[in-house]
Chains A and B, each alone.
Chain A
Amino acid sequence: MSSARLQLPPRIVEGDVFKLRLLVNHPMDSGFLRDIDGVLIKRNVIRQLSCTLNNQEVFRAEPTTGIAANPLFEFYLRAVKSGELYFRWVDDKANIGEMRHPLVVQLANSSSSPKP
């Protein structure tokens, strides 16, 4: 139900510091707003979002109501070796969102310059 999108650079070379752009679909209800009938919408925000690469946690965010709906997280990683990026987030309703994404790191010494 809660989905996410990840953007990576098209080509990641070993030793690079590359940017990850993660956009999570989540209402991030703050608990202060009312719906159209005047009923308070219960607070439901992502409490914790973590990014794991090859079973090592490389980024963690613990947002509160101060992060906007459909939260965006842009952060950086140093490319060491290929693996699998695993994102996992938990909200106040204990819903768990997960996403896996392969990370392909090219070797620096491989003939990398693309032929025109």
Chain B
Amino acid sequence: MNALPDPDDLFSRRTFLNSCAQASVAASGLWLGADALAQVDKLTLSGLAESRLRTFEEMVKPFVVNQALTQGGISLTLPSLADNGHLVPLHLKVDSPMTEASHVSHIYLVSQRNPVPLMSLFVLGPWNGRAEINTRVRLSGTQMVVALARFSDGTFRYQTQEVAVTEAACVDNGT
């Protein structure tokens, strides 16, 4: 990343989130339960040795503070091989009755390698009837994508998906 962003953009959400994540990495063991930690270990991929790939903890840290976080209950569909990172179709479906008592309130799409970790936030409610979203994302290289859903009772669920990207979206940055 030779090219610096504009001075206006220097204190962006990204730098803020990054500094938050760095400051809180030390305390990461405190908020994750033992089984959640085991899942994080399973998620730690071989490619994570490369410094630009975030760990799972870094990815969910800005959104999950003390709430329960479990895997499953979400189907996240991305092509396993995306030729072009500029446009990757993404389908997401959360199992939820979507009633007033129990519904999905927020969905976060988090990228492991993009310069901006949060790709999008969606706010839903019981009036949606179905917690299902289709969109198209940008991915800067082969990575893991995390979909994080917050339920109305405050708990979180997540699902991950590996995507191999042959042409990254930020390709002419740093060359």
Give A contacts to B, CB under 8 Å. Answer: 17, 21, 30-34, 40, 42-43, 53, 56-69, 71-78, 80
> Which B residues are in CB contact (< 8 Å) with A32?
3, 115, 170, 172-173
Give B contacts to A, CB under 8 Å. Answer: 3, 5-6, 9, 13, 86-88, 109, 111, 114-116, 118-125, 127-130, 132-139, 169-170, 172-173
> Which A residues are in CB contact (< 8 Å) with B123?
57, 59-62
Which residue of B86, B115, B133, B172 is within 8 Å of A69 (Cβ)? B86
Which residue of B5, B9, B130, B138 is within 8 Å of A67 (Cβ)? B138
> Which B residues are in CB contact (< 8 Å) with A63?
119-121
Asked whether, in the complex, the Cβ of B9 is within 8 Å of the Cβ of A66, the reply is no
Taken together as a complex, chains A and B put the C-alpha atoms of A66 and B140 apart, in Å, by 9
Asked whether, in the complex, the Cβ of A68 is within 8 Å of the Cβ of B5, the reply is no
> Which A residues are in CB contact (< 8 Å) with B132?
74-76
CB closest chain-A residue, reference B123: A60
> Which B residues are in CB contact (< 8 Å) with A77?
127-129
Q: A32-B170, A63-B119 are in contact. List 20 more A-B contacts (CB 8 A).
A: A30-B138, A32-B115, A33-B170, A58-B128, A59-B123, A61-B122, A65-B115, A66-B120, A66-B137, A67-B120, A68-B86, A69-B86, A72-B135, A72-B136, A74-B132, A75-B133, A76-B128, A77-B127, A78-B127, A78-B129
Taken together as a complex, chains A and B put the C-alpha atoms of A58 and B127 apart, in Å, by 7
Residue among B87, B124, B129 facing the most chain A CB atoms (10 A cut-off): B129
Taken together as a complex, chains A and B put the C-alpha atoms of A64 and B121 apart, in Å, by 9
> Which B residues are in CB contact (< 8 Å) with A34?
172
Asked whether, in the complex, the Cβ of B128 is within 8 Å of the Cβ of A59, the reply is yes
Asked whether, in the complex, the Cβ of B9 is within 8 Å of the Cβ of A64, the reply is no
Asked whether, in the complex, the Cβ of B121 is within 8 Å of the Cβ of A61, the reply is yes
Residue among B86, B135, B173 facing the most chain A CB atoms (10 A cut-off): B135
> 3 nearest interchain CB pairs?
A66-B119, A78-B129, A74-B134
> Which A residues are in CB contact (< 8 Å) with B125?
58
Asked whether, in the complex, the Cβ of B127 is within 8 Å of the Cβ of A67, the reply is no
Which residue of B86, B121, B128, B169 is within 8 Å of A75 (Cβ)? B128
